[in-house]
Chain A
Amino acid sequence: MTSPAPIPDPREVPRPDPAAVPALSIDGVSHSYGSRRALIDVSFNVQPASFTALLGLNGAGKSTLFSLITRLFGIQTGRVGIFGHDVSKRPGEALRLLGVVFQPRTLDLDLSLTQNLLYHAALHGISRREAATRSAELLGRIGLSDRAGSKVRDLSGGQMRRLEIARALLHRPRLLLLDEPTVGLDVKARADIISQVRRLVTEQGIGVLWATHLFDEIMPSDDLVVLHQGQVLAQGPMSRVVTEAGAQDVNTAFMRLTGAQTMPGGGA
């Protein structure tokens, strides 16, 4: 596996003020589908200007958690806050500050890149003129300006993902959720996307929650939340989680914490 694109020196990353309102706060959240418990008393925070990796195998509860944060499902127990706005009580204020990239693709394949972006902008009440300006700017930033009028169907997997990230940023959110955004992409496309998202953290101070099951996407300076069978087994800066598990790397730490026998995928 190649390592992702270089990231800035961790000392330069602005460390969040602990007293500040977290970008995302998950507080005692549990969720069941009938008798099956998908999440059990999950609590953690994502700070502004931080990259938090949510590490878990398939079926750990990552997608359920994302559905709760984005209000696709109602919250059964606990509380989810986005910059202090309760998702259940003030969904409008909370969702306004949130950008999200879901694991399944959610683009209109038959519409053009620009049309997809304009539709999303309209859903956020952004006027047509402003939306056109922002779309052009974002397409430039992801290097797809020359494709603005093509159908999304004609893009590669990596390009679609970059477009989805651009779309999630259109309404200038301050918290960005990404659910396994690199699944199914080649090495180059993965590296591009990871470096694109890490730049958002350092340059724009966006709080990022990045769900993954691939260890090599996590950097020592990241915050880490290990989710296994619906429960948080460990959380904190990655280096601390690894040390406390008595391991040398995140891969071994994960296996010790979960008692997994086989390496689930990706190598550190």
Chain B
Amino acid sequence: MSSITTREAPRGFSVQEYLTCLTGIVWREGLRFLHQRERFVSALVRPLVWLFIFAAGFRQVLGISIIPPYETYILYEVYIAPGLMAMIQLFNGMQSSLSMVYDREMGNMRTLLVSPLPRGFLLFCKLLAGTAVSLLQVYAFLLIAWFWDITPPPSGYLTVLPALILSGLMLGSLGMLISSGIKQLENFAGVMNFVIFPMFFASSALYPLWRVQEGSPYLYYLCEANPFTHAVELIRFALYGQINWISLAVVASCTIVFMIGAIWAYDPSRGLARRGPAGGEG
């Protein structure tokens, strides 16, 4: 074959090519997840420990009055189930961003970023893939929880899906945004302490906010401002076939803001570029 030296006209990318890329990234993320069985097990064990042990112990301490979307008195286990679903997604979002830091150190991230498709689209695919993995975890949790008498209406399993996708995207893009600012893997322990725990505890995941308000009004405002609270409430309402409009608005706008931030941070002329050479000497 002789060398071709003419300048080619730009031809852009077809919808088919975008779709191939998207399915490829989701497929790869799924394969990696299946290969990391311990990750799946720990993703399940974590919320189940909360459900089986913590909730059982707290059942007597914390009385739950009838608050929307619940129509009767409920057990504490039933109350915290949506919070635990959101927790699964929170951990998953942070974990896939952890894997991005790891990938960047190990060079795997380069494979993704040298794809000719627009970088924003690649990161969005990565987010969708991470969200898909979190859905698998959440539904596995719901299955086990069903045997523990957490039985939302059957249609709830379907109506919760869009809420889970949105909250998964929000928490995933938050993780991605954070990962862009982390230079090394070791710094990730700090993220656990400064992001995951405060977000989880200062939310409505474990206790209804009216209870918090009785204790400390300031903490109440903090919880109200926490996007994670709204992810939990969005999931809680959706699980019972209802929409919490305020939570929907908060989660949707946070998703957009975090996603734009993450794509901005991964732009080669900004974010990454300011740092030193990744995974190789200068």
Contact = CB atoms under 8 A, between A and B. Distances in A.
A110 B21 contact: no
A74 B273 contact: yes
Interface in B97-151: 106-108, 110-119, 122
Nearest to A105: B107
B4 A48 contact: yes
Nearest to B111: A106
Interface string B219-243: 0000000000000000000000000
Contacts, number: 165
A152 B17 CA distance: 26
A125 B21 contact: yes
Interface stretch (A14-22, A133-141, A240-248, A256-264): A14-22
Given A72-B272, A102-B280, A49 B3 contact: yes
B16 to A, nearest CB: 7
A209 interface: no
Interface stretch (A62-70, A155-163, A216-224): A62-70
A16 B270 CA distance: 37
Interface in B72-89: none
B278 A72 contact: yes
Contacts of A188: none
A71 B272 CA distance: 11
A98 interface: yes
Q: Provide the main secondary structure of the chain B interface.
A: loop
A181 interface: no
B12 A92 contact: yes
B282 interface: yes
A108 interface: yes
Contact of B6 (A21, A36, A90, A104): A21
B269 interface: yes
A149 interface: no
A64 B272 CA distance: 13
A33 B17 CA distance: 36
Given A48-B5, A125-B17, A63 B106 contact: no
Contacts of A91: 116, 119
A120 B1 CA distance: 24
Contacts of B7: 21, 83-85
A48 B1 CA distance: 12
Contacts of A17: 5
B8 interface: yes
B272 A204 contact: no
Nearest to B36: A110
A93 B278 CA distance: 24
Nearest to A171: B116
A246 to B, nearest CB: 30
B27 interface: yes
Contact of B277 (A67, A94, A205): A67
Contacts of A74: 267-270, 273
Nearest to A16: B3
Nearest to A201: B3
- Provide the main secondary structure of the chain A interface: loop
A134 to B, nearest CB: 13
Nearest to B106: A104
B23 interface: yes
A111 B28 contact: yes
A91 B7 CA distance: 15
Contacts of A72: 110, 113-114, 268, 272, 278
Interface in A56-110: 58-59, 61, 63-64, 66-67, 70-76, 83-85, 88, 90-98, 100, 102-106, 108, 110
A127 interface: yes
A125 B110 contact: no
B282 A128 contact: no
Contacts of B11: 93
Interface string B184-205: 0000000000000000000000
A141 to B, nearest CB: 15
Contacts of B279: 102-104
Nearest to B270: A74
A48 B14 contact: no
A103 B14 CA distance: 32
B207 interface: no
Contacts of B118: 92
A258 B138 CA distance: 60
A64 B275 CA distance: 12
A122 B277 contact: no
Contact of B107 (A97, A106, A124): A106
B5 A20 contact: yes
A115 B11 CA distance: 28
23 contacts: A20-B3, A33-B276, A38-B277, A49-B2, A59-B281, A75-B269, A76-B273, A83-B7, A91-B116, A91-B119, A92-B10, A92-B12, A92-B118, A93-B11, A95-B115, A102-B110, A104-B279, A106-B111, A111-B31, A120-B111, A123-B21, A125-B13, A127-B20
